Structure 1
Amino acid sequence: LAARIQEQAGSGGRAALVPQPRPTRTLPSGEVVDAAPLSLAQQRMWFLNRFDQQSAAYNIPLVIRLSGDLDVAALRAAVADVVGRHEVLRTVYPETESGPVQLVLPAAQAVPRLQIRSVTPDQVVAAVSELVSTGFDVTAEVPLRVALFELDGTAGEFVLTMVVHHITGDGSSAGPLTRDVMTAYAARAAGEAPAWATLPIQYADYSIWQRELLGDEADPESLAAQQAGYWQSALAGVPDQLDLPTDRPRPAVQSFAGSRVDIAIDAETHAGLQRVARQQGATLFMVVHSALAVLLSRLSGSDDITIGTPVAGRGERALDDLIGMFVNTLVFRTELDRGESFAELLSRQRETDIAAFAHADVPFERLVEVLNPARSTARHPL
């Protein structure tokens, strides 16, 4: 099957994601440095950070409980190793006359200080919260902080806390970040340097490749124009918001406050969902998504439901082990016919979802600009 797919792909596939020539700029000191453009997702994060540097809404925390005899010197060296390995962890985003750029700093200049603090067990949650809730100025500081909290009165118990700004990483970055820190720590604790394979690309290579891949939206043959055209058609006339019977009015300005509700799905229900998916040639995501659309339709009385979902944006193999901001948001539209069965709805929704995934390269922020829905501080667009 893999050989057949390769044969069918021929030369009409996407441009390979490989190291790219880096644009340069001259600093006031006369030094010439790499200055790659921001990726399209980073541009949005950069604007939001300039708008409100104190906001922690786009801070991504990673908190790990450690037990045992910890080698602090090895941990400090491991953090330096990982910052050296991933350029994006030592990148600042200054504004220039042509807009913001990625300025990669030398590793020795960019490694964040490992903060070490002693706290009591009942203080640790507040201490972690304070660290991860402090804003960043991404134009001037590397958007990474690392702290080690040692629990007083509990020998050999620590909490390692790392926080990155969303311009530097996303949820899927937690995997390579954690793995690389632990790999480097194990090596340094043994008195060795980490023996990991060289990354095939760095984040700046991806941002340059992404812009070349999408092309100029003014060119009707470009990928950007084709995908924008798809979304203009697919989301034409969607309602501005979904009115649900809530127990309090929607606030005039979204607060970003949130909570969590845990829902258990037992093995029998899960097996049933998988069975429905197999019968319809669909995925488990498509089944649950369609069921959610039916629920929202019944609660709201609307037959036109749009649901946003994040996608990892890591469709290229070279991105598997890379820390960076790749996530995108897709808008799935479900138009319900109350006379059809759920199987019929799922069959239609399967095609809609597949088409959405096939047009996932255009960033959500650009999609909002193209569709230009009514804006409100109270809700998410689309």
Structure 2
Amino acid sequence: MLSAARKYFPKKQNKQQAEQSLSPTLIPTGRLKAVASSAQQRVWLDEQISFNPSRSPALYNIILPLVIKQGSILISSIRSAIVHTLERHAVLRTAVFFNQESGELEQAVQPIIADQNYSFEVTRGAKSLEEIETLLVSEFTTHFAQVEHGLVVRCHLIKMSMNSEDEIEETLHAKDIIIFLIHHIAFDISSVNTFIDTFTGAYDLREPLDSTLQYIDYALYEQNLLADPAENSKINEARRFWSTLMSGYEWYNDYSLIIGTTSKTKVRSGLGHAVSFDLASDLVQAQIECAMSNNVSMFQLGLTCFFVFLYKLCNSNRYDFCVTSATDNRHLPETKTMIGMFVNLLIYRMKIDPVESFTTLMLRTRQLCINVLQHAELSYDKIIDNINNSLPPKIPFHFQYQSVMSSLTYGATEVTKMKDAILKSYSGRDWSHGNGTALNDLSLTMTHDYHRQTTHFIFEYSTDVFDDTMVSTIGRRFQHFLSQIFSTDVDKNQLNQNYDPISKLSILLSEDTDEIPRTVFYRLPSTAYTGKGFIWFC
């Protein structure tokens, strides 16, 4: 499967491609068929190779649950508005498939055929809050999309009450719920507002904004950028940067074995669990002060902590780490209001020096982030394609930072007014977390609320790699780890960020230190205890 995957995205361009001139800007082309964009290729390839589509839960559904706060909406008008939205944004009815003849992953816009371009369902009858949450999780994790046929949108209506009048009227009222699901291959979080605006505008029969640009135009523009033969082009400068950054990285390191778990297969089930916690208020304040005094962002600070934590999880036996993180990748002004999949995965590689201070490492991380963002236009698949002759294993670690002021969660559109009703996002929960799924072996999401001065952490892990017993303490270990970095309490063995080596940091909990003498005697019964711990956490 891995060797076959390489032919999907050939490294060499033909002469005709190499001689294409670079388009000066993103322009409408009117095309209905093209090579899939890099972001579409990454999602498609991840679903096909990293997971088993026939057994894994849906991992790339984006869910938008809306509740009617006031007024009523005709179901027939909802369906008409959906069709109009699909007509307006062709990517929402675009098939993505592997063309055996060309050897490429392609996309093709499908024609509108009545109500056949999307999935639709109505559930009638009262539902408790628990039942609704269970239904939402089920929708998030259930496969509905037929990507190869261009069916990537689903609408599920929940009528909280049912009577004979409603049966005849087919109308949604206050407290009823509208659930939209859209496959990630055609949609990202930055598309939410445009989707809602188009849908509500179509329902209200408002004149749409004049725009002929489609996502397929962006895919063609991207192909021109990648084919630019000029040595000093920005894309070729990016290729050289990533080649240098990733040179010598051992892609086949099995970190799961180092951390103390066993992974029997490279293909993941997609099943996972999550543990979360809120950081103590005094530590949050210390975080903010640390970031401000060192002129680093909260993302850079959080990434630094994650690098060191991974180093300690690996018993200080690994020094070279790669962590992925997502960026919206909407550099062009024309893409800001487009619907489509633009998100790119960036790789952050850091070699840990155990004798350097936390501050030194943090400043190195800041510079790494600056350099990475300067070359973020090269897509993830092209980064790894540029430095490997075969498809490398998926990077197991992922870090994401979310700010309440510029959140990547689904609560981007809070309240939407229509001519007949007022819609609001259902619940404040980020439905992308805590759904029993895992895209990565281990990921950390850090959410900072600037207004409330709070920081929330979520660890998500693959059940194929980590067992519940081990991960049940990972949140407490990370909390203890952070308290050493940011606490000013001398009783907490705090770290001097500017002078102490990061090797001084520990993720040992009190129960671990109690276990050390017994662990040593058990493993080495003829050796006297010397006070040195042999437990794998350090």
In which range does the TM-score fall when normalised by the shorter chain?
Answer: 0.7 to 0.9
The equivalent position to 2:262 in structure 1, one of 234, 246, 249, is 249
Do the aligned partners of 1:199 and 1:322 also contact (CA within 8 Å) in 2?
no
- Confirm or deny that 1:170 pairs with 2:188: yes
Question: 2:482 maps to which residue?
Answer: none
Take 1:378 and 1:274, find their aligned partners in 2: how far apart are those partners? 29
| Cα shift readout 1:218-237 (whole Å, capped 9, x = no counterpart) | 76444443322211211122
Question: 2:64 maps to which residue?
Answer: 62
RMSD (Å) for aligned C-alpha atoms: 3.2
TM-fit CA distance, 1:22:
4.3
Question: 1:274 maps to which residue?
Answer: 288
Amino acid paired to 2:27: P
Distance 1:247 1:234, change over 3 A: closer
TM-fit CA distance, 1:257:
1.3
TM-fit CA distance, 1:114:
3.8
Do the aligned partners of 1:215 and 1:223 also contact (CA within 8 Å) in 2?
no
Do the aligned partners of 2:119 and 2:144 also contact (CA within 8 Å) in 1?
no
Equivalences, count = 351
Question: 1:28 maps to which residue?
Answer: none
Range that drifts further, 221-230 or 160-169: 221-230
Question: 1:144 maps to which residue?
Answer: 153
The equivalent position to 2:220 in structure 1, one of 186, 192, 208, is 208
Take 2:177 and 2:307, find their aligned partners in 1: how far apart are those partners? 40
Question: 1:264 maps to which residue?
Answer: 278
The TM-score with structure 2 as length reference comes to 0.58
TM-fit CA distance, 1:317:
1.8
Range that drifts further, 362-371 or 316-325: 362-371
TM-fit CA distance, 1:290:
0.9
TM-fit CA distance, 1:339:
2.7
**3-state SS, counterpart of residue 385 of structure 2:** helix
Amino acid paired to 2:218: Y
Question: 2:91 maps to which residue?
Answer: 88
Distance 1:160 1:328, change over 3 A: same
Unaligned runs of 5+ in 1: 1-13, 24-33, 188-192
Question: 1:330 maps to which residue?
Answer: 346
The TM-score with structure 1 as length reference comes to 0.79
**3-state SS, counterpart of residue 218 of structure 2:** helix
TM-fit CA distance, 1:266:
5.0
Amino acid paired to 2:37: S
Take 1:119 and 1:236, find their aligned partners in 2: how far apart are those partners? 59
Question: 2:336 maps to which residue?
Answer: 320
Unaligned runs of 5+ in 2: 1-21, 164-172, 397-439, 442-538
The equivalent position to 2:29 in structure 1, one of 17, 21, 24, is 21
Take 1:359 and 1:212, find their aligned partners in 2: how far apart are those partners? 17
Distance 1:19 1:277, change over 3 A: same
**3-state SS, counterpart of residue 262 of structure 1:** strand
**3-state SS, counterpart of residue 261 of structure 1:** strand
Distance 1:338 1:68, change over 3 A: same
Distance 1:278 1:121, change over 3 A: same
The equivalent position to 2:242 in structure 1, one of 228, 231, 238, is 231
Range that drifts further, 359-368 or 66-75: 66-75
| Cα shift readout 1:220-271 (whole Å, capped 9, x = no counterpart) | 4444433222112111222434357656423423221122322223554444
Distance 1:341 1:177, change over 3 A: same
Question: 2:320 maps to which residue?
Answer: 304
**3-state SS, counterpart of residue 175 of structure 1:** helix
Amino acid paired to 2:369: D
- Confirm or deny that 1:102 pairs with 2:103: no
The equivalent position to 1:344 in structure 2, one of 360, 368, 380, is 360
Counting aligned pairs with the same residue, the percent is: 22
Question: 2:127 maps to which residue?
Answer: 121
The equivalent position to 1:78 in structure 2, one of 69, 72, 81, is 81
Distance 1:70 1:324, change over 3 A: same
TM-fit CA distance, 1:143:
1.3
Question: 1:9 maps to which residue?
Answer: none
**3-state SS, counterpart of residue 278 of structure 2:** coil
Range that drifts further, 195-204 or 119-128: 119-128
Range that drifts further, 316-325 or 98-107: 98-107
| Cα shift readout 1:192-235 (whole Å, capped 9, x = no counterpart) | x124423462211111111112225x764444433222112111
Do the aligned partners of 1:215 and 1:222 also contact (CA within 8 Å) in 2?
no
Q: Which has the larger radius of gyration?
A: 2
Distance 1:53 1:250, change over 3 A: closer
Amino acid paired to 2:127: P
Distance 1:267 1:16, change over 3 A: farther
